[in-house]
Amino acid sequence: MTCSGCGERANHRLGPGVRTFECTACGYTADRDLNAARTILATAERDRASADDVRHQIASFRGGSGAV
């Protein structure tokens, strides 16, 4: 629902049969899965989260040694 080209959120959900994401704001078009992957990557990079950061957070909640 979020355009990986411009960051605009769509006002509607794509049905399961719709395989192409088309942004009405900027005109960006891509396979819906590729668009979703690019959006997730951009969010992770923006928040600078990594798998190690998540593992350490989970371990600290469990009171563990860091192994998950």
pTM score > 0.85 for this model? Answer: no
From residue 37, give the alpha-carbon distance in Å to each of 20, 50, 60, 63, 64. 13, 15, 28, 32, 31
pLDDT at 46: 75
Residues 17-57: tens digit of each pLDDT: 999 999 999 999 999 999 999 998 888 777 765 656 556 55
Mean pLDDT in residue range 6-14? 87
Tokens coding 61: 């909640």
Q: Scan for tokens 């371990």, then name that residue.
A: 59
pLDDT at 2: 92
Q: How confident is the model at residue 12 (pLDDT cuts 50, 70, 90)?
A: confident
pLDDT at 66: 46
Tokens coding 43: 């969010």
Taking the CB of residue 21, how many other CB atoms lie within 10 A of it?
23
